[in-house]
Structure 1
């Protein structure tokens, strides 16, 4: 029997789940109070993916406005699905969920950044209609 798949917005009560999933994804831990505060105060959209009763992934998106552009711009900043839950459509469901949230905010274009070698993620994004752009990311540590 196939397990039920569910995507929902995260709430401050999900801090420990998000901390655990983010540690698997990014290798770092955050104080639960900081996660709770961020979920309460930030405009970031944070979604959790469930397979049955188990939280197995999350994704984050933000929208922002610049005087350089007339429209709001959306960006998917993070997406993680546990290995055991991959290839079951959850990444696509997370993308649709985030896109709906961004559309409700007035966003008409969404960007996502991922590594060149992250073939699974690139495949999931392309399957959901995202197109590759020829851009270069430059980064600098401050301080």
Structure 2
């Protein structure tokens, strides 16, 4: 059995097609390759890619901002997806660490992650990466 080469790196425009496929599997939002390329070029969003043997198998997205309400920059890991066939290899933990390092370098002092209450696998991964479960309630409204 050959050893897999696992690599975490920042996504770029040449990854648009693979990102599109991964995101479609993740949440079914039908964006176009052009929209993905534009987002990669114009957005302040950080998009990390998990790659096994030159094949993109997962991604994580993060954003950060400054608010007068808090000291220091605030960060959020907004999305995380690993393709079913690539799970249970520690990729989510690697993606989190990769993003956290970049956020730390940019001066972020606090990072949060939102996930579904019943998403136990994700919650275990985040707790393993030292995230504390809080009692916050998410309220949402379509405009």
Q: TM-score, normalised by structure 1?
A: 0.96
Matches within 5 A, 1:108-127: 108-127=109-128
Structure 2: 5+ residue runs without aligned partners?
none
1:70 counterpart residue number? 71
Cα deviations by residue, 1:8-56 (Å, 9 ceiling, x for unpaired): 0001121111100000000122111111111111111001101122110
Tell me, what secondary structure is at the counterpart of 1:75?
strand
Shift >2 Å, 4+ stretches = none
Aligned residues: 142
1:134 counterpart residue number? 135
Tell me, what secondary structure is at the counterpart of 2:36?
helix
2:59 counterpart residue number? 58
Matches within 5 A, 1:3-14: 3-14=4-15
Report the Cα distance in structure 2 between the residues aligned to 1:37 and 1:60, rounded to whole angstroms. Answer: 15
Give the root-mean-square deviation of aligned CA atoms. 0.8
Cα deviations by residue, 1:110-142 (Å, 9 ceiling, x for unpaired): 000000111111011011111101100000011
Structure 1: 5+ residue runs without aligned partners?
none
Tell me, what secondary structure is at the counterpart of 1:94?
helix
2:87 counterpart residue number? 86
Matches within 5 A, 1:37-52: 37-52=38-53
